[in-house]
Structure 1
């Protein structure tokens, strides 16, 4: 237990001599001692010179009178908080007729208590040590003898008039030491000792004050000026017992502002902090006893990632106990934190085939992610098409609004969303490589993500994949005749079609005949002579898109009955 003792050593008061008997002797107040006692530790003593100076004497006088000095004083300074209790110690009290003693203690704010009056009867006392405490159970005896011990202030026989003094309030005086409670302990304490009769002498070696104060303080510390939405808000609470004694049944209550949620609190030893209910606006910690000194709580709140930038988060904490305090202004501490936003957007992956044939489809898969901590406002994903490709199809995630080029056209795919949460989504884009793209060329798949929210790392906002182009042309010939079947003597037409089934354009740097020449003198099989209306060798393949390349129609004309010929150079029918 930490206690402050104020001591006058060896202050001596001499009671007023009874009429016609004794000469008074007085010695002065010599010193004030402040004793700090910590349980289990050695006391520390700081000695202060009494403001009343050296010894003084009092001449004999008839009737009642004041002791010397009147009053004896103790100057208390440096204590924090307000008074919880005051204990008064009278050390080495001697008197020939204690029933005549009247002793009043006046605090710095003018509160007065009659410590003893009209007690002890006529039994002399020598060097008794009296302790006056509100927690005592015994009163001083009326008829004596008075022995050393702890007592409640005792006044028997009603009010006694004290010799006047500027700092002594008028009576009557109470006996409750609680009159000092909640008062400021700092200042000059006055002890007034007087006799209400004469003829006896007495002395007081010294007197002490044992003052217990309470001063609980709570301070928010390490509070950042700003925090990103979605980030944890970390700060500390320092609680201080600046009083003289441990304080029982202490509660610390702290705010959980809107747009935040309780995460954790790490209390100092002796404190318990149960987690608050979901959605609670405060959390509380309790301690059965808080020792003198300071201790620190570490607090973490989670800031809602959807919180708008510029929002302020009001923090506050309050410490209280069952013991009243006069000054509660330092029991509460407040601060505000401003919310900022930051969203680390990333194109995580972009996959596309390593190679395709000109004229074939390319499907790219793009995964984008908001790494947080904040939600991204008005996010957009851009997927520009390579100029050698045309749009085919797009599969986009729910909630995204996408615009695309028309099918078969080139351009840019753009997808937007008002709020991109801390998550990842996937886009599937299908494009077709133009069939005339030369082998060895490349087409690029590109993805870029952006938003209106500050991005701390824009280096990961774009990704690209490259696809190599090869070519494949599937050429085919089809031959058809008409009519089929054909009657003897009828004209027969053959249609021969060359087709590029793709997917790429068919190309060649040289001409090559599709059919061998059919000279007019050629003899047709099956004993049928005829002529080709056009020369087949005139048809060739250069560079053709998928589809029909060329066609040849060959007509065979039969001989007339008997000996007629279809061509002058044709051989006659047989």
Structure 2
């Protein structure tokens, strides 16, 4: 049963409580919500440093800017790290999982920006294992979770960072082992120099070339010296390097021979940041008196030299 009710002023035969406005449809409500939350987001990503040394940290800075026309109610940022770089740290609003860092939500007003920093570690052996510099790609996307973006083309950004090998190489204790104190004019003797080659990182290992030289009259290398073994120097494990020189003299008197060794990166693109100040060099002077003598004297001098070498302690491995 229905009971008709009339408001004051309604005629007896008029409709009861007629509504003049229609309710909006669901589609119309959604369209209004989209219009109210529409925001043009722009994302930029920069890296620091570039190039980056293997064995150090790399930081990306992502900046999300809201160009309007409305405030962005909920903006999230998703950043995909390079596969070779483990996550280290990010802003408190960020979480890392499976190589992806997710940050947000943020609420930037029209014209406002929000900045996020993300840090990852570059492995010390990345460049050495790859055989040369490596390019790391970082990709990020900003998303307005509650509204459309009229220009989605600037919602993503990426940057590429070059990884290089940088290590403080050093050679030390380049010392003559039992050097001769006397030489016969016209004769020669071998002198063994013992040194230590090391890499202080941050990149490790690094292939290195050891160069030795001798100065003063008759000093000359008998062979091209190289570090002992085929492996390059490691940051935490210095390696020994022995070099042999043949020395002689052609006039009487005291002669001083100076032996030097320097270590440099072997691969193009690898650098030693402190080479300009320390030169990765070590030197060892040795003085001998040159005198005339017969063949038998030369042989005796050679036997004395051989005996001295046999009594010297063995080189550490």
Which category describes the TM-score, using the shorter chain as reference length?
A: 0.5 to 0.7
Counterpart of 1:257 in structure 2 is 82
Conserved? CA contact 2:134–2:162, under 8 Å: yes
Which runs of no fewer than 5 residues in structure 1 stay unpaired? Answer: 1-119, 125-141, 147-152, 157-172, 186-211, 391-408, 472-504, 509-539, 550-574
CA distance in 2, matches of 1:243, 1:548: 93
Counterpart of 1:313 in structure 2 is 136
Alpha-carbon offset, residue 358 of structure 1: 2.7
Counterpart of 2:17 in structure 1 is 143
Conserved? CA contact 2:79–2:100, under 8 Å: yes
Alpha-carbon offset, residue 322 of structure 1: 4.4
Alignment RMSD (CA, Å): 4.8
Alpha-carbon offset, residue 468 of structure 1: 2.9
Which runs of no fewer than 5 residues in structure 2 stay unpaired? Answer: 1-5, 11-15, 183-189, 304-317
Instruction: Note if 1:236 corresponds to 2:61.
Output: yes
Deviations 1:50-84 (A, max 9, x none): xxxxxxxxxxxxxxxxxxxxxxxxxxxxxxxxxxx
Describe the shift of the 1:440–1:328 C-alpha distance in structure 2 as closer, same or farther (beyond 3 A). same
CA distance in 2, matches of 1:318, 1:469: 70
Conserved? CA contact 2:197–2:263, under 8 Å: no
Deviations 1:310-331 (A, max 9, x none): 6433222123354242547257
Among 138, 155, 176, the alignment partner of 2:22 is 155
Conserved? CA contact 2:46–2:159, under 8 Å: no
Describe the shift of the 1:421–1:435 C-alpha distance in structure 2 as closer, same or farther (beyond 3 A). closer
CA distance in 2, matches of 1:419, 1:283: 36
Conserved? CA contact 1:364–1:445, under 8 Å: no
Within a 5 Å distance, the mapping from 1:51-450 to structure 2 comes to: 143=17, 155=22, 174=25, 177-181=28-32, 185=35, 212-215=36-39, 217-223=41-47, 226-230=50-54, 231-241=56-66, 242=68, 244-245=70-71, 247-248=73-74, 250-265=75-90, 267=91, 272-274=93-95, 276=96, 280-287=98-105, 290-292=107-109, 293-305=112-124, 306-307=126-127, 308=130, 309=132, 311-320=134-143, 322-325=145-148, 327=150, 329=152, 332-339=155-162, 341-344=164-167, 346-352=169-175, 356-358=179-181, 363-369=193-199, 371-373=201-203, 376=206, 378-384=207-213, 410-415=222-227, 425-429=238-242, 431=244, 440-450=254-264
* Structure with larger Rg: 1
Alpha-carbon offset, residue 254 of structure 1: 0.3
Q: Which fold has the larger relative contact order, with Cα–Cα distance below 8 Å and residues 6 or more apart in sequence? A: 2
Conserved? CA contact 1:225–1:336, under 8 Å: no
Alpha-carbon offset, residue 461 of structure 1: 4.6
CA distance in 2, matches of 1:422, 1:436: 40
Describe the shift of the 1:216–1:420 C-alpha distance in structure 2 as closer, same or farther (beyond 3 A). farther
Describe the shift of the 1:432–1:246 C-alpha distance in structure 2 as closer, same or farther (beyond 3 A). closer
Conserved? CA contact 1:214–1:325, under 8 Å: yes
What is the aligned residue count? Answer: 271
